[in-house]
Structure 1
Amino acid sequence: MPSESTPAPVPTATGAPGPDADPNRSLEVGLDALQTNAPARRKRLGVWPLLAPVLAIAGLIGVWQLFVMSGVRPRYIVPGPMDVLTQAGAAWARGDIQTALMTSMERGLVGFAVSVVIATPIGILVARVRWVRLAFGPIITGLQVLPSVAWVPAAILWFGLTNATAYFVILMGAIPSIVNGLVAGVDHVPPLYRRVGRVLGAGPVAQVRHVVLPAALPGYVAGLKQGWAFSWRSLMAAEIIAVGGAIGFGLGSMLQQGREIQDMTIVAVAILLILVVGILVELLVFGPLERRLQRRRGLAAETAR
């Protein structure tokens, strides 16, 4: 008797299943290919993620040097890379760079941490309580749009030339961004998640902790990243304007010092240090955090392409 089993698919010349192949089997093969090709795409990147920024920086330094050599602007207005490097070495030998970095980083990290502690419950409250959002949502957005430098004169009058002035400006720059980022993340949580949480017996606090916040993490992390950027910029503005007293010597103070003595090499060193801190925080903190979230949500392969 003829066999009633399904005949094996006849491969074509290219190795793919022929027209008589089982469509379900073809679908499985396609899904397997998608899963196995994703890591291959990431491996093909090789050292490029590390090499690309180095090449970009080298190219920018080369353009900078060519502009200096062209003589379009005097050397004391646009110093060359070696002039700035020499000034950086001298500032390091004097201890100016170490003092400025330690002062600004301490203020920035402490101010940002306090901002996160304050902004997180406010963001949850605004996102979950309708009348709070209606009343305070526009105000928080307005505070986010308001330039942080506008708070510096008021902070000096209120707190004097002290660290409190810098911390106040940091808080006013970071908190609105973190709150709005968390609100945006909560708004994008599917309602089904909350309903499942209620069915499983989660109360309001447990639902926020175990359902809403984990699902809102991408928006929350984006808000944290923007909040750090705002807090760092706010701190630099405060240190540039509020000079003297007990406020200490930070990167903004170094920038202002270079402007006062009309030494562009000091200004360039301060600008580069501020930029380096921003890049390192992105590479060491927010970049890995975002990639971890993407891997947990199955998005790493797509973003690597």
Structure 2
Amino acid sequence: MAPDVRTKNDATDQESSRPEARPELSRQISGLDALELGGETRRNPAARAWSAVWPMASAVAIALLAWQVVVWSGWKPSYVLPGPADTLPELGRQVTTGSFWGAVGLTMQRAVLGFAVSVLVGTVVGALVTQSSVLRRAVGSLITGLQTMPSIAWFPLAILLFQLSEQAILFVVVLGAAPSIANGLIAGVDYTPPILLRAGKVMGLRGLNLYRHLVLPASLPSFVAGLKQGWAFAWRSLMAGELLVVISSHTSLGVLLSQAREFSQTDAMISYMIVILVIGIVMDRLFGLVDDAIRTRWGLAGD
């Protein structure tokens, strides 16, 4: 009978040790689970929206105030440097015209095409360089040199090769952006932990499969940083190109900006500059969202 009693007592102890039988222990485990899963107190959606908007709104307010203070100082006449009260209404008038949105559409079309070609060229070049030590020694420093070269320096050659055409602008945009994208991929591959490479080879990954399933995902944060920098160079190169390469019957933001300068329409000129700045900020924010998503997926997001 003794073994049966002990067996019964053991079963009773096991039953009482289960979390379901001890409410306090169950609550503690639930709390630990919530902590592990990144649980946090959900904020009011309005509060979350306000926390995201107020820093940018404050920066805009400070910039407008500084601008107005410079105008009030009398440093330049109002027809040379108009204040926000003169420029913002002109900006509002411009965004209601079809010609303005046609110019924005053409500029963005050029930007997207140039950036897409840059991504293709930069990715291929970066991948080849990371896989070949000979290519790395041959063109590694050249890629960095191209990245540091001012884009505007390419335009005399571009105009000589392609005349005043879309190809001239595309040529300079690609040369401005592709090196940054290639360097981002190269840096990401170089900083891939060797232990990951050994683990991948142990699991049977070789050649293209190793690159596709391990190296590229591991280098993704650095590659996204290269894409972000590449977009910045592409956008700057495009704006310089639209100011220098004026194609008849092709009205873009750069053309509108140049025309406003020639006709001394300073309020319109500053309006176009604000639009160019806003587009750059929006694109930077989009790349920031991609970066945040990667950091969150990798468990690197802050509180």
Q: What TM-score do the two structures reach when normalised by structure 2? A: 0.83
- Structure 2 unmatched runs, 5+: 1-27
Give CA deviations for 1:219-278 in whole Å, capped at 9, x if unaligned: 0000000000000000000101112336x2211112211221122112201111110101
The aligned amino acid for 2:267 is T
Q: Distance in 2 between matches of 1:196 and 1:210?
A: 12
Larger radius of gyration: 2
Alignment of 1:15-164 (within 5 A): 32=32, 35=35, 40=40, 46=48, 47-164=50-167
| Match of residue 235 from structure 1 | 238
Give CA deviations for 1:140-182 in whole Å, capped at 9, x if unaligned: 1110000011111211111111111111111001100000011
The aligned amino acid for 1:292 is A
SS in 2 for 1:300: coil
Quick check: 89-98 or 177-186, which moved more?
A: 89-98
Residues 64 and 80 of structure 1 are in contact (CA less than 8 Å); yes or no, is this contact kept in structure 2? Answer: yes
The aligned amino acid for 2:205 is A
Q: Distance in 2 between matches of 1:239 and 1:212?
A: 38
SS in 2 for 1:88: helix
SS in 2 for 1:201: coil
Q: Distance in 1 between matches of 2:36 and 2:97?
A: 55
SS in 2 for 1:49: helix
Residues 162 and 245 of structure 1 are in contact (CA less than 8 Å); yes or no, is this contact kept in structure 2? Answer: no
Label 1:227 to 1:254 Cα distance change in 2 as closer, same or farther (>3 A). Answer: same
Q: Distance in 2 between matches of 1:42 and 1:153?
A: 57
Identity %: 41
| Match of residue 290 from structure 1 | 291
Label 1:81 to 1:42 Cα distance change in 2 as closer, same or farther (>3 A). Answer: farther
SS in 2 for 1:249: coil
Provide the aligned length of Structure 1 versus Structure 2: 274
The aligned amino acid for 2:284 is E
- Structure 1 unmatched runs, 5+: 1-27
Q: Distance in 1 between matches of 2:42 and 2:122?
A: 36
Residues 161 and 245 of structure 1 are in contact (CA less than 8 Å); yes or no, is this contact kept in structure 2? Answer: no
Q: Distance in 2 between matches of 1:42 and 1:194?
A: 39
Quick check: 59-68 or 222-231, which moved more?
A: 59-68
SS in 2 for 1:78: coil
Label 1:147 to 1:58 Cα distance change in 2 as closer, same or farther (>3 A). Answer: same
Q: CA deviation at 1:32?
A: 4.8
